[in-house]
């Protein structure tokens, strides 16, 4: 499927991958969730998931939460505009 570049309005030919340029992002905080992940917890701290055929109920482990990034705005651009934007960091 072809698309138009959102910076120069050029039509990108078929079978070219879409290049998404991130324009805005914000900090996202994820809360602590007790007993959110199914699986067995080992002594090393790794979480091993039980086999699907197993009918035993597994212990649920906690999700610690944390901080990450959430993408707010993005543009679909052509390869030429992507190179210019990355070299000049116009966005």
Select from 25, 19, 23 the least CA-distant residue to 5: 19
User: Where are the domains positioned within the chain?
Assistant: 3-88
Give the pLDDT confidence of 11-57 residue by residue, as tens digits: 999 988 889 999 999 999 999 988 877 766 565 666 566 555 555 55
> Are 74 and 91 a contacting pair, CB within 8 Å?
no
d(CA 79, CA 22): 14
pLDDT at 90: 53
Q: How many residues does the structure list for the chain?
A: 91
pLDDT at 45: 61
pLDDT at 65: 86
| pTM, 2 dp | 0.58
């Amino acid at each position: 499927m072809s698309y138009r570049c959102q910076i120069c309005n050029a039509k990108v030919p078929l079978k070219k991958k879409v290049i998404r340029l991130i324009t805005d992002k914000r900090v996202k905080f994820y809360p602590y969730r007790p007993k959110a992940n199914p699986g067995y917890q080992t002594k090393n701290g790794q979480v091993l998931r039980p086999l699907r055929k197993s009918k035993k109920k597994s212990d649920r482990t906690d999700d610690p939460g944390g901080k990450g990034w959430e993408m707010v705005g993005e543009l679909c651009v052509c390869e030429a505009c992507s190179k210019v934007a990355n070299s000049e960091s116009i966005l």
